[in-house]
Amino acid sequence: MAALQIATLLCACGQSREPEAADAAIAEPDSDAGTSAVDLFDLHDEVRASCDPERLAELAALIAARQGELPYWDGGRALFTSDGAPASPAGDWNDWTPAGATEPLCGGPLHTLELAVPSGFHEYKVVDAAGDWHLDPENRAFAYDDFGGNPDGRNSVLDTFDSGRGHLVAGDPVCSDALGGCRAVTAYLPAGYAAPDRAGDRYPVLFMHDGQNVFDDATCCFGFGGWAVNRTLDDEIAAGTVAPIVLVATEHGGAQRLSEYGGDRAADFMEFQVGTVQPAAAALWRIDPARAFTAGSSLGGLIAFRLALAYPEVYRGAASLSGSFFVGEEDGTSVEDQVEELGRMDLALYLDHGGTAAGGGDNYESNRDLLAALTAAGWQRGDSPDCASGPGRVCYFHADGATHDEAAWRARSWRFLRFLFPP
């Protein structure tokens, strides 16, 4: 079963960093690309009329295979499902008023409901028989919602493939014995990802760190809100300045963040990232592991560069915003020291920071020192937004006086996206 394959990947902690091991762990996303939404609607209509056992089993198998990617939508029709109990979808297309409930199909546990839902990006919840509102358990797609009356802080999302917007999806937690726990994973899927004519497309992938802070969660991150990289990607992709990509963000380990991103557990974290997180993502989403990049801010920027330098066979490049590159300066293990030892590599690197020449701040000095080391090693420098993309290039930007926070990184994240993912 596909679920068993994915679960095996998610628990395969502590794998070797050798590229052969990483490649072997990459599974194909489980999908039935040959069956369109229209086929499923036709099959559902047929089963509802006939209750033919074989056709019912076929429909149930197709729905089970796509669990997490429901409801089906095509041409203004949406097929909602629930397991064992009725559920009433209520969303922005019906003024958040429950209208109809899923009903048992042919007397079995599978409940279904067809609704008219127009094209667009729609937030919704499902309402159970007791009148309680919930996220849709059949759907991984969600949007943050800071409405005070919403205890989840999220809504489910029906994002039609012709909406022109991407959306967030909750992945399965990824676990590590070496790191002693599991981490939540969230991905951004670009506009049109689910379009039938793009079912075979694979996308460049960006792996980001500090996943709690990356997206448009207005309540996160010390009062600054998140980076809202998903909104930036929507805008840049629509404008044709950034290619469509999948973004996968893994949450940091809380109190372990410093040791994993910048301390004595960094090697364990990097093996976890390459050997567990990335194969698990490849099993869920149509990413191209040969076009993988990594990015982060502060300590997340530090570990992004360390990953790219340690695994040049895995990554094409990395981006750091206000990276903590002072780490390791006292004992000769800094990223600057690594660059001086390794020399130029075929990696595209983006480097930025705030602060000032006079007063420092926002890791100003260590970033300037690293830039000098990169250019001395042979990286060709460009200055954002006029950077040429490609291996062996470093794109630099100094946000004069910018502070060390998510609001500052949100304002300039478009720069590294345009450099790493040109259209």
Pick one of 3.40.50.2000, 3.40.630.10, 3.40.50.300, 3.40.50.1820 as the CATH number of 2-28+171-420: 3.40.50.1820
**What residue ranges do the domains of the chain occupy?**
2-28+171-420, 37-65+68-159
Categorize the per-residue pLDDT at 22 as very low, low, confident or very high, splitting at 50, 70 and 90.
very low
Whether the per-residue pLDDT at 90 is higher than 80: the answer is: yes
Average pLDDT, the chain: 91
Whether the per-residue pLDDT at 8 is higher than 70: the answer is: no
Q: How far is CA 138 from the centre of its chain?
A: 19
CA proximity to 314, closest of 17, 96, 110: 17
- 408-418 b/e (C-beta count within 10 Å ≥ 16 → b): bbbebbbbbbb
Q: How far is CA 6 from the centre of its chain?
A: 17
Whether the per-residue pLDDT at 12 is higher than 90: the answer is: no
The partner residues of 175 in beta bridges, in order of sequence, read 182
Q: Which of 58-62, 213-217, 221-225 has the lowest mean pLDDT?
A: 221-225
Q: What is the pLDDT of residue 109?
A: 95
Q: What is the pLDDT of residue 146?
A: 87
Q: Which of 35-49, 164-178, 209-223, 363-377 has the lowest mean pLDDT?
A: 35-49
Q: What is the pLDDT of residue 36?
A: 54
> What distance, in Å, lies between the first and last C-alpha atoms of the chain?
37
Whether the per-residue pLDDT at 18 is higher than 90: the answer is: no
Name, in order, each residue with C-beta under 8 angstroms of 380's C-beta and a sequence gap of 6 or more. 388, 392, 393, 394
On whether the 37-65+68-159 domain is CATH 2.60.40.10, my answer is yes
Q: What is the pLDDT of residue 29?
A: 55
| Chain segment 338-355, per-residue pLDDT in tens | 999 999 999 999 999 999
Whether the per-residue pLDDT at 72 is higher than 50: the answer is: yes
Name, in order, each residue with C-beta under 8 angstroms of 249's C-beta and a sequence gap of 6 or more. 185, 186, 187, 188, 207, 208, 209, 210, 211, 214, 215
Categorize the per-residue pLDDT at 181 as very low, low, confident or very high, splitting at 50, 70 and 90.
very high
Residue 416 parent element (H or E): helix 406-420
Query: Taking residues 217-230, what's their average pLDDT?
Result: 92
| Chain segment 105-138, per-residue pLDDT in tens | 999 999 999 999 999 999 999 999 999 999 999 9
Whether the per-residue pLDDT at 25 is higher than 70: the answer is: no
Q: For residue 71, is the peptide bond before it cis, meaning its omega torsion is within 30 degrees of 0? A: yes
Q: What is the pLDDT of residue 39?
A: 83
Residue 186 parent element (H or E): strand 185-189
How distant, in Å, are the alpha carbons of 105, 106, 304 from that of 292?
Answer: 43, 46, 12
Share of the chain above pLDDT 70, in %: 91
Whether the per-residue pLDDT at 145 is higher than 70: the answer is: yes
Whether the per-residue pLDDT at 9 is higher than 60: the answer is: no
Taking a C-beta distance cutoff of 8 angstroms, is the pair 156, 258 a contact?
no
Categorize the per-residue pLDDT at 151 as very low, low, confident or very high, splitting at 50, 70 and 90.
confident
Share of the chain above pLDDT 90, in %: 87
The partner residues of 409 in beta bridges, in order of sequence, read none
- Give the Cα separation of 270 and 17 in Å (integer): 8
This prediction has a pTM of 0.90
Name, in order, each residue with C-beta under 8 angstroms of 280's C-beta and a sequence gap of 6 or more. 6, 9, 10, 171, 172, 174, 185
Name, in order, each residue with C-beta under 8 angstroms of 12's C-beta and a sequence gap of 6 or more. 25, 275, 276, 279
Categorize the per-residue pLDDT at 37 as very low, low, confident or very high, splitting at 50, 70 and 90.
low
| Chain segment 397-420, per-residue pLDDT in tens | 999 999 999 999 999 999 999 999
Q: What is the pLDDT of residue 223?
A: 87
**Where does 139-213 have alpha helices with state H?**
none
**Where does 207-318 have alpha helices with state H?**
229-239, 257-262, 266-272, 278-284, 299-310
- Residue recorded with tokens 């009903």: 103
